[in-house]
Chain A
């Protein structure tokens, strides 16, 4: 159970990095994010994404605006804020460090 918990925490942290990474390449609807993250096998169920998006938005890392969509009602169109960009760079740096450390220790 502890291992599962640790894995889940790790996945969640990495998932946060992935969301910001996708948005750093361009603004996106939640549905686009879901498609990308599902393809990358980062999420299994779609419900995982929404609490993270809301949290990151509340932290000021990303923002959204309502955009008309070709079909149906307006949708949230997410984009990375400046703060989010700085945060993402920080995450990337610590990711690289972690990978290096882990590799050194494992070999």
Chain B
């Protein structure tokens, strides 16, 4: 059994298997960033969408046929990837996928006191235990660590929302990732 998704291509609806949907979605996103600088971007994309719909119609004359990944791959081959379309011409540097950046938060899901060490661990991608040991040792060295910890506890915001948790781990805030983190919670 496979999950399907219904998409609308230039006003016509098609049912796609999940992997087929992901492939097509990825393809259209690539085209979108390839044509990002083009004045006619919207028009080009909708023309291409409508041509893709034509190809789907041609090979599935019976309504209700679900479109699989093979069909999407075939159509992408006909339409061409951005580099096919550029055809050896230097691609005007395709927009890089939005780079996610990390933010320092207190990690409320894995904390001993205020989640400061755990949050720092996420930020620098280091085992939080390392920071915990450093803080504990520094307490015995004149107590400066205690003060620093207290300041960080006050100054650094806790990661409460899903968006903040994704930012804390340096993951991109996309609908897909938010969905994933909900699944993990279950």
B-binding residues in A (CB < 8 A): 1, 4-5, 7-9, 11-12, 30-31, 34, 44-48, 50-51, 53-55, 57-58, 71-73, 75-76
A42-B15 Cα distance, complex, nearest whole Å: 33
Q: Are A50 and B84 in contact (CB under 8 A)?
A: no
B176 at the interface (CB under 8 A from A): no
A51-B44, A54-B43 as given contacts; A8 in contact with B51, CB under 8 Å: no
Q: Are B12 and A50 in contact (CB under 8 A)?
A: no
B64 at the interface (CB under 8 A from A): no
A47-B31 Cα distance, complex, nearest whole Å: 10
4 A-B pairs with the lowest CB-CB distances in the bound complex, closest first: A45-B80, A54-B40, A8-B89, A4-B88
Tell which of A1, A46, A71 has the most Cβ of chain B within 10 Å.
Answer: A46
Q: Whole-angstrom distance from the CB of B73 to the nearest CB of chain A?
A: 14
Interface size class for chain B?
20 to 34
Inside 8 A of A12's CB, which chain B residues have their CB? Answer: 87, 89
Q: Are B54 and A47 in contact (CB under 8 A)?
A: no
Q: Are B47 and A8 in contact (CB under 8 A)?
A: no
B156 at the interface (CB under 8 A from A): no
Q: Whole-angstrom distance from the CB of A29 to the nearest CB of chain B?
A: 10
Per-residue CB contact flags for chain B residues 11-27 toward chain A (1 = under 8 Å, else 0) read 11000000000000000
